[in-house]
């Protein structure tokens, strides 16, 4: 393996420069690659120092490139493809926004690029393009299901490879890498910062490890002690959020500024201070407070609780609009390309008396990722990082940052499986069972070879022993016969559902018949939670709804325990609160927050699984899936397919239907279309729970009536119905179906007859 480092003394402008590298311990200067002379298919004149080093040293095989954000790794992906033209170019990254950004960049090179992010319309279309950009989960699904586009892959790029350390997604990346190694698909791993890069490079059998100290925009770092800084500038004492905002104000920063805070509550409170004390306009619409109306200097807060639609708006405003100050948690440090002129990072330190060392939150690697956002190439001459620490000395933090990159490489699984998380009540076994079953389903008798290539199993023999025990247990449960997977097992693995979650589903379904009959919204939320991979955090919901959620969730938990005799700790009550329209009365919530806002793609997988299981008739499947998809109660959930309604207006209609004691949305829709006085009055009453003035209520009535007037029966989301119908007629035929014919196909094939 060649190990090359691009040194900080490298130089680059669009017209000239040089790459200074170390090769075998010797410093060497390399002339920047002239694009025209080398006959490369790019429109600019020179490759930058990092790209030049890659072009010069990479010949074939796998490679790892670790370099700062915005250093040109996208073009390195294309250089990698030019050396590996044997099949499709496949690029994978963690987020939809990053995928669509790369789609636009790669379109200039490939002209045609396929996309897979879990969106329905993408999933129906065939991938015929020479290049594919996709999320990790979409790529893993393609691998497990032997999708043609994955089988034709000739060059695989995994961006943000450091996410392999994250408990929620690390296992997916590790499985993907094992398939690439097993099938000798050329692999390029990219990262801004990752400890133990040589060990990672060794695992992926890299021919080249390329690291860079050079940054396109030089970084200037200042480490400040919060207490000393506040004392020096004589800022008044106040609450933590007031200190945060006052510190940012006192730094007098120019240009786009990212402010990373260690806690979500601190970020929300800082946003409120910006609004009420400093008179700033708040861009967020879903908030734990009602902001005062302002016009100047917009600010926003980006974190996992912000609905996906709002996050995308905020990201666009920061990149292209007037939004100049953006608060964020560490979620923004991973997988979102938002460079800034300045980055301010607030860090908490504490002294660990057992190890006699300081511990920091966020951890040093995350701090380095955050810092990587400083500097906008072509827009700023230098990037500025201000790390503001409390609870520790500046020197302790600087030492921790220095030591971080010298730490050994690790994955989310290599020290065991993360025990936290509530997506499945037995998350540990669920994760390990899928890690075992993925290769087993894909390779049959050759599964052990692929499994042995996983870093975690090489690193942790105890984990291997645990996997072997799970293998025995799955045989006893009937999911395997020796190493031959049952048909139900193949189906579950393709849907990212572990056998343990399926067993949990069956237990809940058996115990919930009476509950489902009495309260289908709560009953199906409880039962189907076992099939939904998302983590639901009650504390996040509580931020926006306070006592409203606490009271509601206590009732839900008590009801289910009384009716079923079961207790569950997977936070199913969050799903039930959302599906019951629980956010509707809260004026500060524009749309469901956090993971709930990303349920549409998840509901599509759920619908596909339920159709294939054929446990329920299609009427039940349709309503249950739309309930999860739209957050509208089961009886009225098909309202979720009406364009222009959304969560709040859909639940206003559902509440009107409840007041009128209707049993479905059909008489409700007809009543609104015919402007029946009783129905319109019920709608006004429902809207009065959310809106205070007559003008607001009447405006919403008008918008809802207009949306309902445009309905064409039968009800249903056409893309979803075609997606589900494709299980029975194939993708090409499904695209040709009308909504009516898609429904006919589904009613004919999903009858619930396989239930035993």
Does 223 lie in the same domain as 87? no
Does 192 lie in the same domain as 62? yes
| 220, 382 contact by CB (below 8 A) | yes
Confidence of residue 419 (pLDDT cuts 50, 70, 90): very low
CA 205 to chain centre: 28
Residue 337 has pLDDT above 80, yes or no: no
Q: Is residue 166 part of a domain?
A: yes
Does 196 lie in the same domain as 225? no
Last residue of a domain, one of 341, 371, 404: 404
For 96-105, what is each residue's pLDDT tens digit?
888 988 999 9
pLDDT given at position 357: 83
Does 235 lie in the same domain as 178? no
In DSSP notation, 641-660 reads GSTTTHHHHHHHHHHHHHHT
Last residue of a domain, one of 363, 389, 404: 404
Confidence of residue 564 (pLDDT cuts 50, 70, 90): very high
* Global pTM exceeds 0.75: yes
Q: Is residue 540 part of a domain?
A: no
CATH assignment at residue 136:
3.40.50.300
For 485-511, what is each residue's pLDDT tens digit?
999 999 999 999 999 999 999 999 999
- At residue 389, the 3 state secondary structure works out as strand
Degrees, nearest 5: CA angle 266-191-399: 60
Does 473 lie in the same domain as 398? no
Confidence of residue 123 (pLDDT cuts 50, 70, 90): confident
Residue 387 CB contacts under 8 Å (≥ 6 apart), including other chains? 221, 222, 223, 224, 345, 347, 367, 371, 397
Q: Is residue 571 part of a domain?
A: no
Count of domains for the chain? 3
CA dihedral (427, 431, 433, 434) positive or negative: positive
Distance CA 684, CA 704 (A): 11
pLDDT given at position 236: 65
| 440, 475 contact by CB (below 8 A) | no
Lowest mean pLDDT among 202-206, 303-307, 413-417: 413-417
The first and second tokens of residue 36, run together, are 């025209």
| 103, 113 contact by CB (below 8 A) | yes
Residue 207 has pLDDT above 70, yes or no: yes
Distance CA 237, CA 589 (A): 32
- What's the N-to-C CA distance of the chain in angstroms? 57
pLDDT given at position 756: 38
The backbone region for 632, taken as left when phi is positive above 0, alpha when psi lies in -120 to 50, beta otherwise, is beta
Give the structural domain span for 432: 427-494
For 293-320, what is each residue's pLDDT tens digit?
998 999 999 998 999 899 999 999 999 9
The first and second tokens of residue 366, run together, are 């995350």
The backbone region for 302, taken as left when phi is positive above 0, alpha when psi lies in -120 to 50, beta otherwise, is beta
Does 225 lie in the same domain as 368? yes
Does 434 lie in the same domain as 291? no
For 344-363, what is each residue's pLDDT tens digit?
999 999 988 877 788 999 98
Strands 153-158, 187-191: pairing is parallel
Distance CA 209, CA 59 (A): 12
Mean pLDDT of all residues in 705-723: 93
Distance CA 382, CA 375 (A): 6
Last residue of a domain, one of 404, 438, 462: 404
The backbone region for 602, taken as left when phi is positive above 0, alpha when psi lies in -120 to 50, beta otherwise, is alpha
Residue 416 has pLDDT above 60, yes or no: no
Q: Is residue 501 part of a domain?
A: no
For 166-188, what is each residue's pLDDT tens digit?
887 888 999 999 999 999 999 99
Confidence of residue 463 (pLDDT cuts 50, 70, 90): confident
- At residue 221, the 3 state secondary structure works out as strand
Query: How long is the chain?
Result: 756
Does 136 lie in the same domain as 22? yes
Residue 335 has pLDDT above 80, yes or no: no
| Element counts in the chain: helices (H) and strands (E) | 34, 20
Lowest mean pLDDT among 154-168, 282-296, 412-426, 727-741: 412-426
Does 193 lie in the same domain as 239? no
In terms of Cβ atoms closer than 10 Å to its own Cβ (0-12, 13-18, 19+), residue 642 is buried
Q: Is residue 719 part of a domain?
A: no
Distance CA 528, CA 56 (A): 53
DSSP state for residue 566 in the 8-state scheme: -
Distance CA 340, CA 162 (A): 21
pLDDT given at position 754: 63
DSSP state for residue 617 in the 8-state scheme: B
For 209-268, what is each residue's pLDDT tens digit?
999 999 988 899 999 999 888 888 777 678 899 999 999 999 999 999 999 999 999 999
Does 196 lie in the same domain as 289? no
Does 225 lie in the same domain as 195? no
The first and second tokens of residue 221, run together, are 């770092």
Give me the percent of the chain exceeding a pLDDT of 90: 73
Does 143 lie in the same domain as 174? yes
Mean per-residue pLDDT over the chain, rounded: 92
Q: Is residue 439 part of a domain?
A: yes
Of residues 234 and 613, more confidence is placed in 613
| 56, 200 contact by CB (below 8 A) | no
Distances 710 to 601, 662, 705, 719 between C-alpha atoms, Å: 25, 21, 9, 18
Closest of 346, 321, 285 to residue 587, by C-alpha:
285
Residue 659 CB contacts under 8 Å (≥ 6 apart), including other chains? 682, 685, 686
Which residue intervals of 614-645 are DSSP H helices? 618-630
pLDDT given at position 258: 96
Residue 421 has pLDDT above 60, yes or no: no
């Amino acid at each position: 393996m060649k190990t090359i480092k691009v040194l900080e003394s490298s130089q680059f402008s669009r017209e000239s420069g040089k790459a200074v590298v170390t090769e075998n311990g010797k410093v060497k200067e390399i002339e920047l690659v002239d694009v025209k002379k080398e006959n490369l298919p790019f429109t600019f004149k020179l490759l930058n120092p990092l790209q030049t080093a890659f072009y010069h040293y990479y010949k074939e095989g796998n490679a790892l490139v670790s370099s700062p954000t915005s250093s040109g790794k996208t073009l390195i992906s294309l250089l990698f493809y030019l050396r590996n033209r044997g099949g499709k170019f496949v690029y994978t990254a963690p987020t939809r926004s990053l995928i669509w950004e790369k789609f636009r960049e790669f379109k200039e090179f490939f002209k045609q690029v396929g996309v897979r992010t879990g969106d329905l319309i993408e999933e129906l279309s065939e991938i015929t393009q020479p290049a594919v950009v996709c999320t990790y989960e979409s790529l893993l699904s393609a691998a497990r299901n032997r999708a043609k586009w994955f089988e034709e892959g000739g060059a695989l790029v995994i961006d943000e490879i450091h996410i392999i350390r994250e408990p929620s997604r690390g296992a997916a990346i590790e499985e993907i890498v094992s398939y690439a190694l097993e099938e000798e698909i050329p692999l390029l791993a990219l990262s801004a910062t990752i400890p133990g890069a040589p060990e990672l490079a060794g695992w992926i059998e890299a021919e080249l490890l390329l690291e860079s100290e050079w940054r396109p925009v030089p970084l200037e770092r200042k480490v400040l002690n919060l207490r000393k800084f506040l004392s020096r500038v004589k800022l008044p004492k106040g609450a933590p959020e007031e200190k945060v905002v006052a510190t940012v104000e006192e730094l007098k920063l120019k240009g786009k500024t990212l402010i990373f805070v260690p806690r979500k509550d601190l970020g929300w409170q800082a946003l409120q201070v910006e609004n009420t004390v400093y008179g700033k306009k708040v861009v967020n619409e879903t908030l734990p407070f009602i902001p005062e109306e302002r016009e100047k200097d917009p600010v926003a807060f980006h974190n996992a609780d912000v609905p996906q639609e709002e996050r995308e708006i905020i990201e666009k405003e920061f990149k292209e609009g007037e939004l100049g100050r953006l608060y964020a948690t560490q979620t923004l440090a991973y997988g979102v390309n938002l460079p800034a002129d300045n980055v301010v990072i607030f860090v908490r330190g504490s002294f660990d008396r057992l190890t006699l060392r300081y511990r920091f939150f966020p951890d040093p690697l995350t701090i380095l990722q955050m810092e990587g956002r400083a500097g906008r190439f072509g827009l700023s001459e230098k990037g500025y990082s201000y790390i503001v620490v409390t609870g520790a000395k500046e020197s302790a933090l600087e030492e921790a940052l220095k030591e971080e990159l010298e730490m050994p490489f690790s994955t989310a699984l290599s020290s065991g499986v993360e025990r936290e998380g509530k997506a499945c009540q037995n998350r540990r076994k669920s994760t390990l069972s899928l890690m075992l079953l993925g290769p087993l389903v894909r390779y049959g008798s050759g599964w052990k070879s692929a499994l042995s290539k996983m870093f975690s199993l090489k690193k942790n023999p105890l984990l291997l022993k645990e996997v072997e025990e799970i293998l025995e247990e799955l045989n006893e449960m009937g999911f395997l016969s020796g190493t031959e997977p049952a048909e139900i097992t193949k189906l579950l693995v393709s849907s990212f559902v572990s056998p343990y979650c399926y067993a949990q589903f069956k237990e809940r379904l058996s115990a919930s018949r009476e509950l489902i009959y009495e309260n289908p919204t709560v009953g199906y939320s409880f039962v189907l939670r076992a099939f939904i991979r998302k983590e639901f955090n009650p504390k996040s919901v509580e931020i926006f709804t306070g006592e409203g959620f606490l009271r509601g969730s206590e009732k839900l938990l008590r009801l289910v325990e009384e009716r079923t005799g079961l207790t569950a700790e997977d936070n199913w009550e969050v799903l039930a609160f959302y599906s019951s329209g629980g956010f509707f009365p809260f004026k500060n919530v524009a749309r469901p927050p956090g993971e709930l806002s990303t349920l549409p793609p998840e509901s599509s997988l759920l619908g596909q699984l339920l159709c294939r299981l054929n446990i329920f008739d299609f009427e039940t499947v349709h309503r249950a899936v739309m309930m999860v998809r739209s957050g509208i109660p089961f009886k009225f959930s098909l309202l979720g397919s009406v364009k222009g309604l959304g969560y709040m207006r859909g639940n206003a209609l559902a509440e009107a239907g409840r007041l009128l004691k209707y049993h479905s949305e059909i008489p409700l829709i007809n009543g609104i279309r015919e402007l029946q006085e009783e129905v319109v009055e019920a709608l006004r009453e429902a809207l009065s729970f959310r809106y205070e003035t007559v003008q607001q209520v009447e405006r919403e009535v008008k918008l809802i009536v207009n949306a309902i007037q445009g309905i064409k029966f039968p009800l249903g989301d056409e893309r979803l119905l075609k997606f589900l119908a494709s299980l029975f007629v194939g993708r090409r035929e499904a695209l040709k179906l009308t909504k009516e014919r898609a429904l006919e196909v589904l009613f004919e094939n999903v009858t619930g007859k396989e239930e035993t």
